[in-house]
Structure 1
Amino acid sequence: MRNIVEIVPGGMPVIVGLILACLLLSMIPIRPQMWLYPLVREVVVMKIEYQTRSMLTKETPHFIIRYTDSDVDIVDMVAEASEAAYRPVTAAFNYEPSGKTLILVYSDRQAMKQAYGWSGDASAMGFYWGGIIQILSPKAWMRNNPSVDEFIRTGPLAHEFTHLVFDHLTRGNYSRWFTEGLAQYMEYRVNGYEWVTADNRLTGKLYTPEELDQNFDGLSNQSLAYRQSLAAVRYIAEVQGDAKLNQVLLYLKAGERTDRAIEKTLGMDYATFMSLVNLWAQGNMQQYSKAAN
């Protein structure tokens, strides 16, 4: 990733100002980074909006989509899928981000990987970072004659827009595994989509809570890490109830760590929670089989 001096418009003077703001905010008892984070995110959005001003642009009621000549024939599909994700996600969180969300569309994986120094999963169809949704053109991964319905169901927009809404709601206060579990849960709830592969069966050796908490992006089997994160969020919503999941979100919004938010909501320690999740997932979540795939 690029360093923050390269990312933030204005360079060092702005960074110094943000550091001084952080020092002042450290006198506030609730996690000072939660107050500073939205400011940094807005500065990043302004810079990327400026850097991409020469791209072609299409606006919808809630999104600004920027794309290149190669995607002129596909941008309406992106626009429709974006708006299809908006209402279900904002209704689920009872929260709407202010202004329009910027979506950048890249014609190929290499262009997306080079965007702003991104070094994420090479197979990803999109990613959320710094207040911006960035996606791979549907033409780069969908088969012949891609349809809007297929793109809505299997594309990345519900997932990435969930990241954005959750990020705004909690001011960045969450663990990586939880935001990925929540984004997948919204895909599952809205579109019925689950990422099921031969490598992410929940019936074998699983990652420990410590591994998920401390090194989510560095785990060798990313599909399993993601599947476990979905299992944890689905367990809260489907076994404990939607009200409990909403309470976890409220605790995160108030500044609690993810593990403490879950413990306070469910009345059990974190290790017990994860053990119950694993037991529940083995019998209640879809497992990969050749016949079904």
Structure 2
Amino acid sequence: MLDRRALLLALLLCAGTALAADPLTYGAKAQQLISKGDFVQALDELKAATSRFPYDQELKHQLAFTYTELAKRDLQSGRYAQAAENFRQAHELIPESKELALMRGIALYLNKDYVAARDELLQSGEGSESLVYLGKISYDTGDLPGALDFWRRAKELDPANKVLAGLIEKAERELPVESRMDKGYSSMFDLSFDAELPPGLSAEVLDALESAYNTVGADLGVFPTARIPVLLYTKKDYRSVTAGPDWSGGLYDGKIRLPVGGLTELTPQLRAIIFHEFTHVLVAELTHGNIPTWFNEGLAEIEGRKLFAPKLPQLDAAQEKHLLPLADLSGGFSGMGGGKAWMAYQQSFSMTSFMVQRYGWYSVQEILKYLGQRADMNTAVSKALADYALDLNGVMREWRESLPAAGTGGGSQ
């Protein structure tokens, strides 16, 4: 009897081992995990399975699909380097897939790894989307004619694409101005400037940019590795290129654009604008554009006003009824008239500087980190200020309570 039981147990164990070794079983288990959204565990299962059955095409395609889904999640969360790596793993499993080459190229572009992105996009074929991103790489690296060539070819394939039409129109507006510009360089910046500007001004601007790189980088906790394009315009060219409001003193739209016509040397006000616009560079790097305008502009005002503080009346409790709602401050300011724009910037500065003073730069860095992971502002604040048990409404309440009584503030803020 004992021998028969031992034999039965041995048979069961062998059957279980055979079942576990079956690629269909691995695939089914992985599929269950995928259907539950547990891609990380599914990845472990499928990697183990493909190592045992390296020629099973179904397992290979399941593994590639899992890498792709993880990469898409990374893209949504702003983890561009990790997304590119997961797309690479998927593409190695299905090397004939042009779609995977395209997706990896896009992830590399978003991570500002332009050389690798270009190589990957060129492998993905002559589709409209790959041409759009090849154009973006050319544009971001200062090759406007190259960008226009790619975008015009993309437009032939996708003539109804309004976004593409906007890119072409913008580049065509900039090309006549930028084609006659001189060039200058420093360790992290590529400078283009109007040949009519005083020759010493460009060198002073580069020095200010390098100073901003170190100072603002220390406050926000990030030091970009990709080179940053900066353009100095005459005031007339600045208006024609940017179509910005009359009160605009600078712009960051992927490139720092500054109107400096008429200046012969770097003034404290221009230096402050450089620090202001460079702050937008870092905020974009950290949040990928997922940030309310008031917080973005508030941080930029903090950095700029360290160098040049305008003579502005301080906000006080008596002005509370005139304060702009957060909804108005969360969108762009460029469409505002001068008076409303002044209040928008002053209020943004007041709210954001209060947050820095009350909760510290580390908490601000944490808010930016969560925004970069696609959290909304309230969630980002709640997570970053968990030790204070505060959400965004709580922060705004504390800020309002901090405003001085009417007539006691005075001066500039």
Q: Please, what TM-score do these two structures have when normalized by structure 1?
A: 0.73
User: Is the Cα–Cα contact under 8 Å of residues 37 and 172 in structure 1 kept in the other structure?
Assistant: no
After superposition, the C-alpha distances for 1:99-118 in whole angstroms (9 at most, x for unaligned) are: 3211111011x311221xx3
For structure 2, list consecutive stretches of 5 or more residues without a partner in the other structure: 1-67, 81-105, 113-134, 145-177
In structure 2, the partner of 1:134 is: 257
AA of the residue aligned to 2:234: S
After superposition, the C-alpha distances for 1:142-199 in whole angstroms (9 at most, x for unaligned) are: 5xxx654625654x1111111011101222221111111111112234x2x334436x
Check if 1:100 corresponds to 2:227.
Answer: yes
Check if 1:159 corresponds to 2:276.
Answer: yes
AA of the residue aligned to 1:179: N
Q: Bigger radius of gyration, 1 or 2? A: 2
In structure 2, the partner of 1:177 is: 294
Cα distance in 1 for partners of 2:224, 2:290 equals: 16
Cα distance in 2 for partners of 1:182, 1:236 equals: 10
Check if 1:276 corresponds to 2:377.
Answer: no
After superposition, the C-alpha distances for 1:101-144 in whole angstroms (9 at most, x for unaligned) are: 11111011x311221xx333312221100x2100011x43x5xx
AA of the residue aligned to 2:190: I
SS state at 1:238 partner: helix
- For the aligned residue pairs, the C-alpha RMSD in angstroms reads 3.2
AA of the residue aligned to 1:136: P
In structure 1, the partner of 2:37 is: none
User: Is the Cα–Cα contact under 8 Å of residues 84 and 152 in structure 1 kept in the other structure?
Assistant: no
SS state at 2:363 partner: helix
Over the matched positions of the two proteins, sequence identity in percent amounts to 20
AA of the residue aligned to 1:163: H
User: How far apart are 1:253 and its partner, in Å?
Assistant: 2.3
**1:60-139 maps to which residues of 2 (within 5 A)?**
60-73=186-199, 74-108=201-235, 110-115=236-241, 118-129=242-253, 131-137=254-260, 139=261
In structure 1, the partner of 2:349 is: 230
In structure 1, the partner of 2:375 is: 256
User: How far apart are 1:40 and its partner, in Å?
Assistant: 6.6
In structure 2, the partner of 1:46 is: 138
AA of the residue aligned to 1:271: N
AA of the residue aligned to 1:50: D
AA of the residue aligned to 1:56: D
SS state at 2:196 partner: helix
User: How far apart are 1:218 and its partner, in Å?
Assistant: 4.0
In structure 1, the partner of 2:268 is: 150
In structure 1, the partner of 2:330 is: 213
Shift of the 56–39 alpha-carbon distance from structure 1 to 2, 3 Å rule, reads same
User: Is the Cα–Cα contact under 8 Å of residues 259 and 270 in structure 1 kept in the other structure?
Assistant: yes
Q: Please, what TM-score do these two structures have when normalized by structure 2?
A: 0.54
For structure 1, list consecutive stretches of 5 or more residues without a partner in the other structure: 1-23
After superposition, the C-alpha distances for 1:34-75 in whole angstroms (9 at most, x for unaligned) are: 456984796546226113465200111221111122114321
Cα distance in 1 for partners of 2:381, 2:394 equals: 11
Task: Number of aligned residue pairs: give it.
Answer: 253
SS state at 1:56 partner: strand
SS state at 1:71 partner: coil
Shift of the 283–135 alpha-carbon distance from structure 1 to 2, 3 Å rule, reads farther
